[in-house]
Structure 1
Amino acid sequence: MISKYTMALLFLSLILPGCKDEQREKQLVDRENALAEREKTFAIKEADYHSLIRMRDSLATVRDTVILKTWPISVDGLWNARLVCRESSCTEYVVGDVRSDNWEFASDSTNIFTRVYSKEKLVRIYSANLSGSTIELQFATDSTSQKKVNINVRIDTTGTATLKGEQIVVIDDKCRAKFSVELTRSKIQ
């Protein structure tokens, strides 16, 4: 009888450790799979991190290359404008007409522009371009306006106290008026 028990114990001692090996092997495989999954997640996060670093660096580079446009000190600010009609094929303007306005040469973070005030009321805003010693101003009414008006102004900036130039007004592509422009620095800044 002892030999039966001995044999049974011997048999069980051989089988039970084999079961533990299978369980340990399964646990090891599960751990390896979990580790592989964590490595994939980490690789994705690392790629996102490097992508964000590259984007940050590219934004910093772009920011460094942005050039803010401003008017030269000799032009920037408020000016008194006197416009005299020299030629006209428009019924709205007569040769010899004189207009007096205030022009403000200003800039913001995106561009330079010129505001025109008549009797302290904003009349129009010109988009502007400064090329060497020449200022070019453009204004066009939008598509909802009853009249299509295009105004182009060229001003020479070589003068110090007075700037002179020319304004051309085209209405509905049918008539044209040409004005001489004389700007003097306003005492009110």
Structure 2
Amino acid sequence: MKNLIFLNLLLLLLVNCNNKDKTKELALKEQQLLEKEKLFAQKEAEYNALLKMRDSIFSTRHSDSIKIIKWPDTIAGSWTGKVICTESNCSDYVVGDQRTDIWEFASDSIQLFTKIINNNNLVRSYSGNFENNEIKLNFKTDSTAKKKVDMNVLLNDISADKIRGTRTIAVDNCLAKFSVELIRSKK
């Protein structure tokens, strides 16, 4: 009988030890499962963030897209320009001086510009802007030029066949102002 009790105790001890090992294994497997669930949740969050980013990219306009700009049809093309000096403290420009040129309002895919042509030669090219029914043109010499020249044209009286405004030329330390009148060239 002592042997039987001893055998039962030994069997019970072995079963308990076996249960402890199984409990440890079960706890380890639960821990591994929790880690896998956390990893899956992270991947799911990354995936959802990527989906949101993709949707926002497709739903918004690209800031790096190029907007093609051009002069309105009423302005684009050739105009005969008459420029008269109205004020000057520059030795190069005298009040009353007149000049007649062809002004060609053109554009490429990214900017507006106006070419001034005299005797089939390009005299100058202004960069342009058209806002609030005003044409603003600008020409500036680069930093390597001997004379620092800044020319600004404001054309704010615009009709179908005539455009009027002013041109201001700043050369080094002097200033000259001109009246500008453009008449639509006959095609």
Q: Give the TM-score normalised by structure 1.
A: 0.68
Deviations 1:17-70 (Å, cap 9, x if unpaired)? Answer: 43223212211221122212321332244235435544654x33989xx99764
Deviates more, 1:80-89 or 1:34-43: 80-89
Q: Which amino acid aligns with 1:89?
A: N
Q: Matches of residues 99-138 of structure 1 in structure 2 within 5 Å?
A: 99-107=99-107, 112-118=112-118, 119-121=120-122, 123-132=124-133, 134-138=134-138
Cα offsets for 1:56-85 (capped at 9, x unmatched): 54x33989xx99764332111222323344
In 2, the alpha carbon distance for the partners of 1:82 and 1:12 equals 113
Give the match for residue 182 of structure 1.
181
The 8 Å contact of residues 150 and 170 in structure 1, kept in 2 or not, is answered as yes
Aligned equivalents of 2:92 and 2:154: distance in 1?
21
Q: Runs ≥4 in structure 1, deviation > 6 angstroms?
A: none
Query: C-alpha separation between the residues in 2 aligned to 1:22 and 1:114?
Result: 84
Per-residue CA deviation, residues 73-117 of structure 1 (Å, 9 max, x unaligned), is 211122232334454432223455443333222345665442333
Question: Displacement, 1:12?
Answer: 3.1
2:34 equivalent in structure 1: 32
The question of whether the paired residues in 2 share the 8 Å contact of 1:113 and 1:127 is answered with yes
Measured on the aligned residues, the alpha-carbon RMSD in Å equals 3.8
Q: Which segments of 5 or more consecutive residues in structure 2 lack a partner in the other structure?
A: none
Q: Secondary structure at the match of 2:61?
A: helix
- Residue by residue over 1:136-171, the C-alpha shift from the partner in whole angstroms, topping out at 9 and shown as x without a partner, is 33333344332222323233212x333343323232
Q: Distance in 2 between matches of 1:11 and 1:179?
A: 111
Note the residue ranges of structure 1 that are not aligned, 5 or more in a row. none
CA 1:17–1:136: 2 relative to 1, 3 Å: closer
1:23-172 to 2 correspondences below 5 Å: 23-54=25-56, 56-57=58-59, 59-60=60-61, 70-107=70-107, 112-118=112-118, 119-121=120-122, 123-132=124-133, 134-155=134-155, 156-158=157-159, 160-172=160-172
* SS of structure 1 residue aligned to 2:139: strand
- In 2, Cα distance between equivalents of 1:168 and 1:14: 101
- C-alpha distance in structure 2 between counterparts of 1:88 and 1:162, whole Å: 25
Distance 2:154 2:45 in 1: 60
Share of identical aligned residues, percent?
A: 30
What is the alpha-carbon distance in structure 2 between the residues aligned to residue 11 and residue 165 of structure 1?
107
Instruction: Report if the CA contact (8 A) 1:114-1:128 is conserved.
Output: no
Count of paired positions:
182
Aligned partner of residue 72 in structure 1, secondary structure: coil
- Give me the TM-score of the superposition, normalised by structure 2: 0.69
Q: Do the aligned partners of residues 15 and 101 (structure 1) sit closer, same or farther apart at CA in structure 2, a change above 3 Å counting?
A: same
Q: Secondary structure at the match of 1:71?
A: coil
User: Residues 29 and 167 from structure 1, CA distance in 2 versus in 1: closer, same or farther, beyond 3 angstroms?
Assistant: closer
